[in-house]
Chains A and B, each alone.
Chain A
């Protein structure tokens, strides 16, 4: 510890602290622009110059390390003169037109200019003009306002992992720009808007639509991936105008993914369902709520009466709130159905009944960054969990050994220690090899089922990276991604992952796909012993379905199958914030419910943290919070125990109290027969869920749909597979499996042989059916 005195106040700080960190501990503000606690030190803006005793010149507080007994003066004449001098320089070439700048009112330069600037400029020469850059559909530029603090550059290089921005030219001609002809395409690009201390980088969709002081702010929670990023939802006249990160070091730090930041644009989509609708004689009719509820309750009661409760299936979105899922399952069980599931993209349910608890991350999110070795199994990590990828990127820089087992070698922008890329059918076998190699390295007995397998060099390398840590792998993590959880042998991967972690003495967990991937289990939105899971209730069509906030054709493992079964059903009751043509085709009644921004509710994130939020805006049109709709349906159907007055009541019942973390988190699994043999003939499909197609809200955010990550699906193959099929990249191909899709062939060197990568969750590829189908590919 070092002792430092700042403006007469003494404090102890850790070795290696900088003066600005010490000052922040004291609550002393030192003006700055380029400094940011999450980025490397640039010391280029010079705004944080302070006086240090015995130093002849003012020193930058951001870069000056504390020495024992140091005395710092942040408001002495020398310091203030230096700070004012820098402010004058910053302003001479900066446009002084705050009233027409989108950053006005939330601009660090504007704020600090009040304290350190003069009322009039002494600069009477020509001002600099800098050409604007096209950074893509999300970030707008006004580069003349740039003060060259390089925060955005350091963000792309250090946090996002790839230096998509740089500073070209020298001196006064210096310009921040992307590569020539390129845009900024990282899935984290929106953060540079927050980082920019001036109006050089602003939100393109939000631009000029409101002033910061006109906006109301509500805390909320991201409804997308399992991380549960904390949000500040900003509204004007009950319309969500913008979403910003709410800093939560233990969850999203100070970042948001572009999906979380810009998905709000979907809230105002023209496809919002704002009035209840019923289908009468094949024609849709907008009706009053009581008519629609009556219609829905009668339809369900009739089916239950005639065919029994088991004739009803419930497909619940994993992005629905805990309260919504809890009431939906209670309603369905009240009708006598155990056919309830929220795990819509899962295809292997053989672990059901064998799990010893609620599957979860297996650790706190913040602990991910402290692991010394990590194996990611079956995950499009950068796109499925961008902020977890970001944490691993930082820990890899600190020396953590990160390795990957997957069916696609997408660049994670993380320094990997080892990787094994294999066709989906081979993943269990390769994971088994890793388990075996690790057991050998650790000198522990491996599962008898692994006796006969030979260990490949890749598996050996991964095992070695896992045991590389200080305690021989004790501080390791085995994480199963979305692809592994959706895999046809998911239970085998689960069991092997557990074995691997226990051989290492490390942690094992699942990367939660959706906002409520843990919450769904807590809400009991899974089938009971006699019930059907999501796949079974679609494979074996039901008479009626209740669909909560999902679009089964896009959100289920087999969208084509879902369409067939839903279309066949006598009654499909849909509760949704949006309507689509598919819905109009298969549904009997459409009940408009609120998206996350218009309802109170709770998400349980992947680490089991309970995060509740209030509505940020009033529901649009006649939409109502789904928990209220379900509550009334429960009453109409005379289901017992539906006397809830608030979503808090529902939550209390679902959670049995008000815990910070849910109980019963446990990734244990009772003996499952390991299924290591793969007898696959034909081209295996590797289906990713593109980041901007993962749920119904993000699919409707126009700006995100223009991003590079939203490019139309293609049929991606490696060079050998292309050659074998007589194709070249760019060829139009007919891809078949049940139905067909016409897709362009595309070279993807990161895929294993005999594999075709075709994105799921996209209208163009619904016809191909199961995410794990065997495909035929021919030139179209």
Chain B
């Protein structure tokens, strides 16, 4: 099943037919490519397109939340060679929205990219798709073929003066290639390593040319914004947090999946849509925006609404909208150990603080989890994260540090218990009971 539930479906309107509704004619029957046609037929000015996107207060859906219209307006007008790049390198643990967007409705992203290319004056675009979802890459290629055959891509699109072609490019699974400049390096055939900024991609992007790079969901929202108008889109959400957003809810809920809700929807409502806590257990903590976002304890989270500003005020980030829900059976030390291992493995190794620090963090957390913690370890972890944050080319060092700091901050007693008693505060039986895997396998064993 494609989608569990939604309020005000926009991005997910095409998802209801599951795998049967992704093709070009389905998209067209839902009003797809009408906006592209309207823009081209009416010879809408580039500035007007950008103004409409600015009005919508659409903020980047990849994690950083940078206003999309503003980003587009940074593109130099005069440059002859420009690119539009879509970031579908969805590698953040907990995030799985872009995958479904391209699976169930690839054409909204394609149309969004064509409109973006029109607005910034690009003639060529790439969609960089995560290497571990190869079937999605293949579907996107099929969708591109359909769009090309229908004249939405290529030379003189729909008889206008505007030409644009779009290509799919798949990565090989490196998390760092989701960082926009690392992604550009990877498209260029180099090792995926973030570039020092400035210059930003709008000035020095793909192959050194001005480049607009946005997340899949950002592009997918463009046709809807152009359809209903920027103002109407903004009003779906709340000021400065326009429109709807996809949330990938995972963890200990009854119905994990993608949910499209207006910005500003209370977390409690989202949790309810996801079927509430599994087994009626108590909510312990939530990572509201993908694994690199600081964890929030249940009571703080229950007060939040799902938008950039509210989550930031609570001390975390809306990020990519990956909501990881943890109930009382979770050992926070073990959870952190897993997260730290991820960042240790995925650091590109370029900057000293991240290359060396991510391994240090993981090893210390690993020791604590395995009963070899020392009382001074928590201070050490905080000190190491201090030396990592804000000291590197990209934000991966921060991403590795945030979980460590927030887990220790909010669940310090659990860490102290681990260190003192060489074991977990949450007993192994409780942990096992909370794990679907162990339940299933013990049932199988009993049979």
Asked if B393 contacts A170 (CB within 8 A), the reply is: no
Which residues from 547 to 572 on chain A have a C-beta closer than 8 Å to any C-beta of chain B? none
**With A89-B353, A147-B352 known to touch, is A63 a contact of B359 (CB < 8 Å)?**
no
The residue of chain A having its C-beta at the shortest distance from the C-beta of B345 within the complex is A171
- Determine the distance from Cα of A147 to Cα of B191 in the docked complex, in whole angstroms: 18
Contact of A172 among B174, B356, B391 (CB under 8 A): B356
Asked if B349 contacts A173 (CB within 8 A), the reply is: yes
Asked if A171 contacts B347 (CB within 8 A), the reply is: yes
22 cross-chain CB contacts under 8 A: A42-B350, A44-B351, A44-B393, A46-B351, A46-B352, A49-B391, A56-B390, A65-B198, A85-B391, A86-B352, A89-B352, A122-B380, A123-B360, A126-B363, A148-B349, A167-B191, A170-B174, A170-B346, A170-B348, A171-B346, A171-B354, A172-B358
Residues of B within 8 A of A89 (CB): 352-353, 355-357, 360, 387
The residue of chain A having its C-beta at the shortest distance from the C-beta of B396 within the complex is A171
Which residues from 137 to 175 on chain A have a C-beta closer than 8 Å to any C-beta of chain B? 147-148, 166-167, 169-174
The residue of chain A having its C-beta at the shortest distance from the C-beta of B363 within the complex is A125
Contact of B353 among A41, A86, A148, A172 (CB under 8 A): A86
Asked if B364 contacts A46 (CB within 8 A), the reply is: no
Give the most central of B356, B367, B380: most A CB within 10 Å.
B356
Contact with B along A92-117 (1 / 0, CB 8 A): 11000000000000000000000000
Residues of B within 8 A of A166 (CB): 191
Count of B interface residues, CB-CB < 8 Å: 32
Contact of A170 among B198, B349, B353, B387 (CB under 8 A): B349
Main secondary structure on chain A at its contact with chain B?
A: loop
Measured between C-beta atoms, what is the minimum distance from A160 to chain B in Å?
Answer: 18
For the complex, is A418 an interface residue (Cβ under 8 Å from B)?
no
The residue of chain B having its C-beta at the shortest distance from the C-beta of A49 within the complex is B391
For the complex, is A767 an interface residue (Cβ under 8 Å from B)?
no
Asked if A125 contacts B360 (CB within 8 A), the reply is: yes
Asked if B387 contacts A88 (CB within 8 A), the reply is: yes
- Determine the distance from Cα of A172 to Cα of B354 in the docked complex, in whole angstroms: 9
Measured between C-beta atoms, what is the minimum distance from B348 to chain A in Å?
Answer: 6
For the complex, is B73 an interface residue (Cβ under 8 Å from A)?
no
- Closest A-B pairs by Cβ, 10 of them: A85-B387, A174-B349, A171-B347, A57-B390, A89-B356, A125-B363, A172-B359, A171-B349, A43-B196, A44-B350
The residue of chain B having its C-beta at the shortest distance from the C-beta of A88 within the complex is B387
Asked if A170 contacts B176 (CB within 8 A), the reply is: yes
Measured between C-beta atoms, what is the minimum distance from B171 to chain A in Å?
Answer: 13
- Determine the distance from Cα of A60 to Cα of B363 in the docked complex, in whole angstroms: 28
Contact of B391 among A46, A122, A128, A167 (CB under 8 A): A46
Which residues from 71 to 90 on chain A have a C-beta closer than 8 Å to any C-beta of chain B? 82, 85-86, 88-90
For the complex, is B146 an interface residue (Cβ under 8 Å from A)?
no
Asked if B196 contacts A60 (CB within 8 A), the reply is: yes
For the complex, is B15 an interface residue (Cβ under 8 Å from A)?
no
Measured between C-beta atoms, what is the minimum distance from A87 to chain B in Å?
Answer: 9
For the complex, is A634 an interface residue (Cβ under 8 Å from B)?
no
Asked if B364 contacts A125 (CB within 8 A), the reply is: yes
Measured between C-beta atoms, what is the minimum distance from B301 to chain A in Å?
Answer: 27
For the complex, is B48 an interface residue (Cβ under 8 Å from A)?
no
Measured between C-beta atoms, what is the minimum distance from A19 to chain B in Å?
Answer: 13
For the complex, is A344 an interface residue (Cβ under 8 Å from B)?
no
Which residues from 178 to 230 on chain B have a C-beta closer than 8 Å to any C-beta of chain A? 191, 196, 198
For the complex, is B235 an interface residue (Cβ under 8 Å from A)?
no
Asked if B347 contacts A46 (CB within 8 A), the reply is: no
Asked if B350 contacts A58 (CB within 8 A), the reply is: no
Asked if B355 contacts A174 (CB within 8 A), the reply is: yes
For the complex, is A773 an interface residue (Cβ under 8 Å from B)?
no
Contact with A along B296-331 (1 / 0, CB 8 A): 000000000000000000000000000000000000
Residues of A within 8 A of B355 (CB): 89, 148, 171-172, 174
For the complex, is B392 an interface residue (Cβ under 8 Å from A)?
yes
Residues of B within 8 A of A174 (CB): 348-350, 355
Beyond A65-B198, A171-B346, list 17 extra A-B contacts (CB 8 Å): A42-B350, A44-B351, A44-B352, A46-B392, A58-B390, A85-B353, A86-B387, A86-B391, A89-B355, A92-B356, A148-B355, A170-B174, A170-B176, A171-B354, A171-B358, A172-B349, A174-B348
For the complex, is B386 an interface residue (Cβ under 8 Å from A)?
yes
Residues of A within 8 A of B348 (CB): 170-171, 174
Asked if B344 contacts A63 (CB within 8 A), the reply is: no
Main secondary structure on chain B at its contact with chain A?
A: helix
- Determine the distance from Cα of A457 to Cα of B65 in the docked complex, in whole angstroms: 57
- Determine the distance from Cα of A41 to Cα of B359 in the docked complex, in whole angstroms: 26
Residues of A within 8 A of B356 (CB): 89-90, 92-93, 172
Asked if B360 contacts A92 (CB within 8 A), the reply is: yes
Asked if A46 contacts B346 (CB within 8 A), the reply is: no
Contact with A along B376-408 (1 / 0, CB 8 A): 000010000011001111000000000000000
Which residues from 30 to 58 on chain A have a C-beta closer than 8 Å to any C-beta of chain B? 41-47, 49, 56-58
The residue of chain A having its C-beta at the shortest distance from the C-beta of B390 within the complex is A57
- Determine the distance from Cα of A125 to Cα of B340 in the docked complex, in whole angstroms: 15
- Determine the distance from Cα of A169 to Cα of B386 in the docked complex, in whole angstroms: 26
Contact of A46 among B198, B353, B360, B386 (CB under 8 A): B353
Measured between C-beta atoms, what is the minimum distance from B132 to chain A in Å?
Answer: 16
Measured between C-beta atoms, what is the minimum distance from A93 to chain B in Å?
Answer: 6
Asked if B391 contacts A82 (CB within 8 A), the reply is: yes
- Determine the distance from Cα of A44 to Cα of B198 in the docked complex, in whole angstroms: 15
Asked if A169 contacts B196 (CB within 8 A), the reply is: no
Asked if B349 contacts A90 (CB within 8 A), the reply is: no
The residue of chain A having its C-beta at the shortest distance from the C-beta of B380 within the complex is A122
Measured between C-beta atoms, what is the minimum distance from A610 to chain B in Å?
Answer: 44
Measured between C-beta atoms, what is the minimum distance from A122 to chain B in Å?
Answer: 7
- Determine the distance from Cα of A83 to Cα of B55 in the docked complex, in whole angstroms: 43
Give the most central of B176, B349, B358: most A CB within 10 Å.
B349
**With A148-B349, A172-B355, A174-B355 known to touch, is A57 a contact of B391 (CB < 8 Å)?**
yes
Asked if A43 contacts B358 (CB within 8 A), the reply is: no
The residue of chain A having its C-beta at the shortest distance from the C-beta of B367 within the complex is A125
- Determine the distance from Cα of A169 to Cα of B349 in the docked complex, in whole angstroms: 8
Residues of B within 8 A of A57 (CB): 390-391
Residues of B within 8 A of A92 (CB): 356, 360
Contact with B along A169-198 (1 / 0, CB 8 A): 111111000000000000000000000000
Give the most central of A85, A93, A126, A171: most B CB within 10 Å.
A171
The residue of chain B having its C-beta at the shortest distance from the C-beta of A56 within the complex is B390
- Determine the distance from Cα of A679 to Cα of B359 in the docked complex, in whole angstroms: 72
Give the most central of A46, A56, A86, A174: most B CB within 10 Å.
A46
- Determine the distance from Cα of A46 to Cα of B393 in the docked complex, in whole angstroms: 9
- Determine the distance from Cα of A80 to Cα of B198 in the docked complex, in whole angstroms: 24
The residue of chain B having its C-beta at the shortest distance from the C-beta of A147 within the complex is B352
- Determine the distance from Cα of A92 to Cα of B176 in the docked complex, in whole angstroms: 23
Asked if B359 contacts A171 (CB within 8 A), the reply is: yes
Measured between C-beta atoms, what is the minimum distance from B144 to chain A in Å?
Answer: 30
- Determine the distance from Cα of A60 to Cα of B351 in the docked complex, in whole angstroms: 11
The residue of chain A having its C-beta at the shortest distance from the C-beta of B175 within the complex is A170
Measured between C-beta atoms, what is the minimum distance from B131 to chain A in Å?
Answer: 14
- Determine the distance from Cα of A621 to Cα of B176 in the docked complex, in whole angstroms: 62
Measured between C-beta atoms, what is the minimum distance from A156 to chain B in Å?
Answer: 15
Give the most central of B346, B355, B367, B380: most A CB within 10 Å.
B355
- Determine the distance from Cα of A68 to Cα of B239 in the docked complex, in whole angstroms: 36
Residues of B within 8 A of A82 (CB): 387, 391
Residues of B within 8 A of A126 (CB): 363
Measured between C-beta atoms, what is the minimum distance from B324 to chain A in Å?
Answer: 23
Give the most central of B352, B357, B387, B390: most A CB within 10 Å.
B352
Measured between C-beta atoms, what is the minimum distance from B282 to chain A in Å?
Answer: 35
Contact of B352 among A47, A63, A122, A167 (CB under 8 A): A47
Measured between C-beta atoms, what is the minimum distance from B394 to chain A in Å?
Answer: 11
- Determine the distance from Cα of A166 to Cα of B190 in the docked complex, in whole angstroms: 11
Contact of A58 among B174, B347, B391 (CB under 8 A): B391
- Determine the distance from Cα of A56 to Cα of B359 in the docked complex, in whole angstroms: 26
Asked if A172 contacts B347 (CB within 8 A), the reply is: yes
Residues of B within 8 A of A171 (CB): 344-349, 354-355, 358-359
Asked if A41 contacts B349 (CB within 8 A), the reply is: no
The residue of chain B having its C-beta at the shortest distance from the C-beta of A60 within the complex is B196
